[in-house]
């Protein structure tokens, strides 16, 4: 059984994560979706990310985590690390560029860089 934490801020990031996870997860696996809006992404878009995951990931169980229950941290990477610990995630999947298709092809954002530097769990950074 594999447990994956998906950190997302938009439907674009969620779709890219689902494209990556779809062929890799089985029916006994679990994907936890952590949708964290930021100043560049609307709350509605971040909220719609859960609907994308439910429709694109048919096989594994998808649990949408309630943002009100997220641990307090000064950084998004801190929240993701704490949630990965809480759910004993085998890997963390995030988007490279804040879910903004306008920045596709640019270097990964600060959250990706911080996670790669600060966690011992595998981090998969998917292109958006």
> Which pLDDT score is estimated for 36?
78
Number of other residues whose CB lies within 10 A of the CB of residue 23: 7
Rounded to the nearest 5 degrees, what angle is found at the Cα of 42, between the Cα atoms of 37 and 47?
65
Q: Which CATH superfamily is domain 3-126 in?
A: HUPs (3.40.50.620)
pLDDT in tens, 19-44: 999 899 988 999 999 987 665 556 66
pLDDT in tens, 8-20: 888 888 999 999 9
Distance of alpha carbon 57 from alpha carbon 31, whole angstroms: 9
- Domain regions of the chain by residue span: 3-126
pLDDT in tens, 74-100: 888 999 999 999 999 999 999 886 545
């Amino acid at each position: 059984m594999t447990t994956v934490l998906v950190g997302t801020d938009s439907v674009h990031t969620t779709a890219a994560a689902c494209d990556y996870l779809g062929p890799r997860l089985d029916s006994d696996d679990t994907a936890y979706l952590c949708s964290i809006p930021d100043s560049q992404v609307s709350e509605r878009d971040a909220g719609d990310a859960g609907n994308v995951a439910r429709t694109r990931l048919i096989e594994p169980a998808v649990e949408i985590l309630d943002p009100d229950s997220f641990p307090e941290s000064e950084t998004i990477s801190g929240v993701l690390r704490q949630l990965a610990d809480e759910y004993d995630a085998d890997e963390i999947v995030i988007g490279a560029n804040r879910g903004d298709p306008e920045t596709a092809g640019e270097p990964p954002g600060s959250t990706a860089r911080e996670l790669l530097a600060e966690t011992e769990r595998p981090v998969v950074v998917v292109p958006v």
